[in-house]
Amino acid sequence: MSNLLKILFTVVLLSLVIVIISQNRHPVRTLAWILVLILLPGLGVVLYFLFGTLKRKDRLISDQHLNQLKEEVTKANSLMLRRQVPGGHEDLATLLWMTNKAIPLAGNDVRIYTTFDEMITDMLEDMDKATDHVHFEFFKFEDDAVGRKVGEKLRELASRGLEVRVTYDSAANISRHRFYRWLRKGGVQVRAFLPVVLPFLTTTTNYRNHRKIVVIDGKVGYLGGMNIAERYSRGIRRGQWRDTHMRINGPAAAELQTAFLVDWQFCTKRFVSGSRYFPQVESCGDSIVQIATSGPMDEWKVTMQGMIRLITQAERYVYIESPYFIPTEPVMMAMKNAALAGIDVRVIIPYHGDKGILVPLASRSYVEEALIAGVKMYFYSGGYLHAKTIVSDGTVCTVGSTNLDVRSFEQDFEVNAFIYDKEVARKLRDAFLEDMNNSTRVSLEQWRKRSRWEKFKESFARLFSPIL
């Protein structure tokens, strides 16, 4: 019997190796998984099914339904469609359209937030003014003082007869079932994205919905890096929590609506559409905004490709902020090429992580490579940096949920706004420069003086980059 089991296990192992090879992944990743299966045959099989399977054949929504939602967007905002964007960024806008059907929409008023308290105050005020529906989607929606305050508002809106829909990432909120039951009892429609019972016993655990989206009456939207949690207001042990979020008032809220409804259908298997969710919105400002989404089930790595294009087309400067710095090879090459070409490339990251040690260690393993190419690297010292922004040449910028790491680019569901507006770009540039004043610049000479033990820990942590 034992011999038969050994034969069966060997067949399974060889079959997995053949499957991995036939998927045409990056050679390094292919070889890495094969080595894991060979060196750790039992554990390796488990790890592969948890973290190594590809989901690109699955779909969040059918092309038919997606096209229907996009038609609703264009029908309601026909006068605000922009085939050309200012500042010579037509290639970026075209890229996002071709890979994601992201529609550039004019007439938006964009408000940038660098503090949580200001953002949540405005969001609750906007929600209180809602007359038809509120759609609410967050990676983390915690059961604390802030979460309860927001939850009370959602329950109040539902009691007034509004449609209130909430989605949350199941793996990130595994212990908050009582809180979500409380919301449901208050009339709120609540669904978990990729629900899991035991987080380490499902192949979808490694795929997380990292998006932060709020849509109010199809006219006002919020997105960015902030979750719903008390620590965003009071900070953490190392100091104030520094993040960036944004409010969109105008036609581009319709594209945030599309992103939410796609996720809602995936969660509920019910397609929601119609003019009540895509009302006609008059021009509210001067910003052209393009909403781009990405996820492991997509054909293209949309946000990564958009960021690469944003970096490579820079003529004067590129300023980047990210809490995690584990770039893919194409992103790292884009930054290095820009710096080597004389572009002022600056990156601010935290030295310490918000949790655990592997992520900050892995992030530091990429610092020397960037410094050698001339990228100016800074460690934020004013608290904990969680902002996810890129601004280039004072004409274009992006704000969203996407970190500069492998997980965001390849495993998580993300949403970013690409904004073509000098005033918004200026505000993000000013925020970056203020953060830079609260950061410590690292020189190549100084960085190379780290101990061999520190370098080894960083290199070891880097091995786990795809799943961090």
The candidate with the shortest Cα–Cα distance to 411, out of 204, 212, 261, is 204
Candidate list 133, 135, 336, 386, residue with the active-site label:
386
Q: What are phi and psi of 383, to 5 degrees?
A: 140, -135
212 annotated active-site: yes
210 catalytic, yes or no?
A: yes
State yes or no: is 217 an active-site residue: yes
Query: Is 352 tagged catalytic?
Result: no
CA atoms of 170 and 167, how far apart (whole Å): 9
**Catalytic site residue from 143, 263, 393, 421:** 393
- Residue 248, CB half-sphere, CA atoms under 13 Å: how many? 34
Task: Give the count of beta carbons closer than 10 Å to the beta carbon of residue 237.
Answer: 9
Which of these is catalytic: 153, 210, 219, 427?
Answer: 210
SS in 3 state form for the chain? CHHHHHHHHHHHHHHHHHHHHHCCCCHHHHHHHHHHHHHCHHHHHHHHHHHHCCCCCCCCCCHHHHHHHHHHHHHHCHHHECCCCCCCCHHHHHHHHHHHCCCCEEEEEEEEECCHHHHHHHHHHHHHCCCCEEEEEECCECCCHHHHHHHHHHHHHHHCCCEEEEEEECHHHCCCHHHHHHHHHCCCEEEEECCCCCCCCCCCCCCCECCCEEEECCCEEEEECCCECCHHHHCECCEEEECCEEEEECCCHHHHHHHHHHHHHHHHCCCCCCCCCCCCCCCCCCEEEEEEEECCCCCCCHHHHHHHHHHHCCCCEEEEECCCEECCHHHHHHHHHHHHCCCEEEEEEECCCCCCCHHHHHHHCCHHHHHHHCCEEEEECCEEECCCEEEECCCEEEEECCCEEHHHHHHCEEEEEEEECHHHHHHHHHHHHHHHHCEEEECHHHHCCCCHHHHHHHHHHHCCHHHC
Residue with tokens 């960037």: 370
Catalytic residue among 212, 219, 245, 457: 212
Q: Which is catalytic among the residues 126, 143, 169, 217?
A: 217
Catalytic residue among 101, 301, 336, 388: 388
Q: Please indicate whether residue 169 is annotated as part of the active site.
A: no
Annotation marks residue 245 as catalytic: no
Q: Which amino acid is located at 239 in the chain? A: G
- Give the active site residues: 210, 212, 217, 386, 388, 393
